[in-house]
Amino acid sequence: MPTSRKSFNRRFNDSVECMATDIQDTAHAVEAAAVMELLRVRPRLLALGEPTHGEELLLEVRNDLFRQLVEREGYRTITIESDCLAGLVVDDYVTSGRGTLDEVMERGISHGWGAFAANRELVRWMRAYNDGRPASEHLRFAGFDGPLEITGAASPRQALTALHGYLAAHVDADLLPCSAETLDRLLGADDRWTEPAAMRDPARSVGRSAEAGELRLLADDLRALLDEQTPHLMTATSPEDRYRAHLYGRTALGLLRYHFWMADTSPGRLARLVGVRDRMMADNLLAVADRGPALVHAHNGHLQRNKSTMRMGGLPLEWWSAGALVSAQLGDGYAFLATALGTIPHQGVDTPPPDTVEGLLYALPQDRCLVDAPRLATALGDTRPAPRVSPYYGYAPLDPAHLAGTDGIVFVTDVPQS
């Protein structure tokens, strides 16, 4: 069992207790007003990360904070680390009531996260918030991940055929680079694209076949045609239809690029795959930001400004996260709050050592708090907290070297089993 808070506090020596007093001055309640006080301007994208997936309490903390930011600060989109195409089902539900909540949670949120009670409550609340409001004031939902799982990627069929169908309905047929029948022939059976063995065996991937190469060129031509016809499409179609057409184009090309690198045999294969995924995330986030101020939720590793690292297949990987890419484009228009935590007893994550960032924050009296990360770095001065080592592969501790690139830390002391 985790060490009690009183027992933990007794382990601090006098110098650490003095530092803890300084750190206490940087801690605030996890509220919208406190978040905005940390930032120089209201960001177009305000991102909240989490250090592990699948913990209901962390999702509940997200829900509470995001509700306040919507109601008090005017944020108008909530986007999470979920399939961007499936997310259209959720957006239709929260804006128009199309479908049922059960159907939407099953079909609209990927990675199995539709089964979490807090995600269900978020979607239910968004629908209730929109009920009776004019469309101009609606709260929107978006997934910003690609149609990807750790074991593979979706077929580009849905995105390609939707983009082709949009253009075929609104531009001269002679301008289209191919017919729908050609796309269907080149795509073939979807299980060619979703072959699970391809993640570990590049030879099982269809990503560098002649058909995949031709599809990539056609997808590029379709996207170019979409851009070339902008003046006409702005008068002939709705902003929502154009937004979705661009989403289909980004996703089609992103998937074809991802499949291309799945078929690669070079040492850089896995690094390219995780990099392509976060590039897709970044492109989707920038498109969401163009619609208005948005709230973002995903793993810390996808949202941080620093390079992301992990081990996959026994290999160390480095790549620039979606947050790093977006921050490079938006500057102060992007803000990042990292979530850190003390214990996850049911996953074997016990009381953090007192010489880690989590250990210092665990000594604070609050069960959860918002910490000013730059002020925390100043309070630490030349003291270098040790990196925490996790016994649980699914939890990524806060990297002390990332404090300067983080706008705030949401700290949760103990995460009980759901």
Torsion of CA 80, 103, 75, 373, to 10 degrees: -30
Query: What pLDDT does residue 2 have?
Result: 53
Q: Where are the domains of the chain?
A: 5-153+266-414, 154-265
In CATH, what class is 5-153+266-414?
alpha beta
> 3-class DSSP state for residue 268?
coil
Query: What pLDDT does residue 14 have?
Result: 46
Helices (H), 131-265: 157-170, 180-187, 210-228, 230-236, 239-262
292 in the Ramachandran plot: left (φ > 0), alpha (ψ -120 to 50) or beta? left
Write out residues in the chain with pLDDT < 70, as ranges: 1-22
Query: What pLDDT does residue 405 have?
Result: 92
Assigned token pair, 327? 């921050």
Query: What pLDDT does residue 18 have?
Result: 52
CA 105 to chain centre: 18
Query: What pLDDT does residue 174 have?
Result: 97
Q: Which residue reads 């110098």 in tokens? A: 15
This prediction's pTM = 0.93
**For residues 191 and 96, what is the distance between their CA atoms, to the nearest angstrom?**
33
DSSP string, 148-180: EETTEE--SHHHHHHHHHHHHHHS-GGGSSS-H
Q: Which residue reads 């074997």 in tokens? A: 348
Q: How many CA atoms lie within 13 A of 382 on its CB side?
A: 0
Query: What pLDDT does residue 188 have?
Result: 98
Query: What pLDDT does residue 8 have?
Result: 44
- Write the CA distances from 274 to 119, 136, 300, 301, 372, integer angstroms: 25, 36, 15, 11, 30
DSSP H or E stretch at residue 283: helix 269-291
